Structure 1
Amino acid sequence: MSFCPSRSANIELDDDKLLRYSRHILLDELGVEGQEKICNAHVLIIGAGGLGSPLALYLASAGIGTLTIIDDDEVDLTNLQRQIVHTEASIGINKATSAKSTLNALNPHITINAIAERANDERLAQLISAADVVVDCCDNFDTRHAVNRACVQGKKPLVSGAAVRFDGQLTTFDTRQAHAPCYHCLFGEEGEASDSPCATFGVFAPLVGMIGTGQAAEVLKVISGCGEPLIGRLQLYDARSARWREMRYKKDPACPVCGNAHKV
């Protein structure tokens, strides 16, 4: 599949959009200007599963102008415990395609591109170059590192989330800022013994909703300039005790992806 989404045309808020997004516009930190930025943004979502479901629903409802969703997997019955963008009618359908159908019904005024494939490095670079923000909702380290490399190379902000069992994590990377770390600075490729798929370890259903909606909030903050994104801060959530912890981390000068050695 050679399709590559383009950026949306410049969108101005007409009366219908002013009413639809009025609760955002009433926020002094957003206002009309912030909502117009949201409506003119293009977000790439990697994965339409547990995290991608609430993320996509909130980004669509918030009016993101273009959502591109890539996922090569199909919906099955075990997904429905937590992947709320899909229904029983979606079983056997590609997840990106299923998500597009749900999101179109939620907000028919935005553009949604569904890509049913597993992207290689070249394809990732192509898709990321067309986006304003990238969101990592995948469930394996190889893809996470590939997405990170492409975002660093393309100078695109990356919002990252993960959830397994009762444990979730959330952070944002934006190497457009000189001192901002990348995913590899925080989670090096060396020493990662294995991934933690839900099929093996399970996942508490509301947890993916909490992390996925947190990712949506990070995306909207990055696009609109509202608030303080989680750059250099990793939030950790334990759903068993309902406790959040925050860990600060820094750019690694020796990082092979974004560090000084990489630039030589």
Structure 2
Amino acid sequence: MNLSDQEYIRYSRQVMLEQVGEQGQITLKNSHIIVVGLGGLGCPALQYLAAAGIGELTLIDDDVVDLSNLQRQVLYRSNHIGKAKVEAAEQQLYGLNSQVKINAINKKVEQVNLVKLLEKAGLLLDCTDNANSRYFINQACQQAGVTLVSAAAIGGNGQLAVFNFNQHKSPCYRCLYPDLEQQDTALNCQNTGVFGPVLGVMGSLQAIEAIKLLVQPGQVTANKLMLFDAWQLKFNAIKLSHNSLCPSCATLTG
């Protein structure tokens, strides 16, 4: 499948890049990415993925747009309040790039046969904000052998990790956070707050890693936890290792 003349014009600045080129753009055109969670992380990630020419995007979220979302969920507008996020996002993304195929699933991710969906996807972006969903997504990606790009943000801090489940004994999200349920109600955006641009940074980084996974997989920072401090404008990286006691990994191998 080649690029049309219109696609050459649309993606010309990207095709110029040595790391992408024409073949890389064709790869993006033929790619399918699942994005779970259409909040502060999912909004910027989706806009950059659609703009970059990802051929197919599957959106999963059961929430509706609320007035309090507009401070940081930059895909939505005031007239979207009360509308399902997947419907508003689909409308906005088609407006940005009508060549992208969008599948909108207005359900909680736990209600979706995610392993089945992953059979037709190259990778998944976890843009959710609760432990149960993150663990569910993590285990589905492990089972399907599909790379997971996970991010989170709270206050002025963000984090990003890529879990490459094609690698033997890859660390997983639960290796990193084995007891997240206990912390889930302690700190969240509703009771702690979040600096909106931090979500923009982390969601954009998810899009960067996703595109790199497709066109330059050797350049992806897998098996590391990237930490971002907006107030100090600093990044730090922590190496991640497989946890032999991880309950998610034990379920997979057991």
Could you tell me the TM-score, scaled by structure 1's length? Answer: 0.91
Aligned counterparts, 1:1-264, within 5 A: 11-120=1-110, 123-189=113-179, 192-195=182-185, 196-226=187-217, 228-258=219-249, 262-264=252-254
CA shift digits 1:98-142 (9 cap, x unpaired): 111100000011101111111326622222222111000000011
Cα distance in 2 for partners of 1:18, 1:59 equals: 17
Deviations 1:127-164 (A, max 9, x none): 22221110000000110000000000000000000011
Q: Distance in 2 between matches of 1:192 and 1:233?
A: 23
Q: CA deviation at 1:253?
A: 2.9
CA contact (8 A) 2:131 2:181 kept: no
Worse-matched range after superposition: 121-130 or 180-189: 121-130
Between the aligned partners of 2:135 and 2:39, the Cα distance in structure 1 is 19
1:192 is paired with a residue whose SS is: helix
**AA of the residue aligned to 1:84:** V
Hey, what's the Cα distance between the residues in 2 that align with 1:140 and 1:257?
A: 17
1:8 paired residue number: none
* Superposition RMSD in Å: 1.6
Residues in 2 aligned to 1:124 and 1:201: alpha-carbon distance in whole angstroms: 30
What is the number of equivalent residue pairs in this alignment? 253
Structure 1 contact 136–144 (Cα < 8 Å) conserved: yes
The structure 1 segments of at least 4 consecutive aligned residues displaced by more than 3 Å after TM superposition are 189-192
Q: Which moved more, 1:110-119 or 1:42-51?
A: 110-119
Structure 2 letter corresponding to 1:177: Q
- The unaligned stretches of length 5 or more in structure 2 are none
Give the Cα separation in 1 of the matches to 2:206 and 2:104.
20
Q: Deviations over 1:188-239 (max 9, x none)?
A: 1367332433121111010000000000001001111255212111110111
Please identify which structure carries the higher helix content: 2
Cα distance in 2 between the residues matched to 1:24 and 1:100: 23
| Whole-angstrom CA distance in 2 between matches of 1:193 and 1:207 | 21
Q: Residue 98 of structure 2: SS of its match in structure 1?
A: coil
Query: Secondary structure at 2:249's aligned position in 1?
Result: coil
Give unmatched runs, 5+ long, in structure 1: 1-10
Change (3 A) 1:226 1:21: farther
SS in structure 2 at match of 1:199: helix
Contact 1:29–1:226 (Cα < 8 Å) also in 2? no
One-letter identity of the residue aligned with 1:221: K
Distance in 2 (CA, whole Å) between partners of 1:172 and 1:197 is: 22
Query: Structure 1: how far apart are the matches of 2:163 and 2:241?
Result: 11
Q: In the aligned structure 2, how far is the partner of 1:263 from the partner of 1:202?
A: 38
Q: Provide Cα deviations, 1:9-44, integer angstroms capped at 9, x if missing partner.
A: xx4211111111111111111111111111111000
Opposite residue 93 of structure 1, the aligned amino acid is: K
The SS at the match of 1:114 is: strand
Q: How far apart are residue 256 of structure 1 and its match? A: 2.9
Residues in 2 aligned to 1:96 and 1:191: alpha-carbon distance in whole angstroms: 26
Partner of 1:6 in structure 2? none
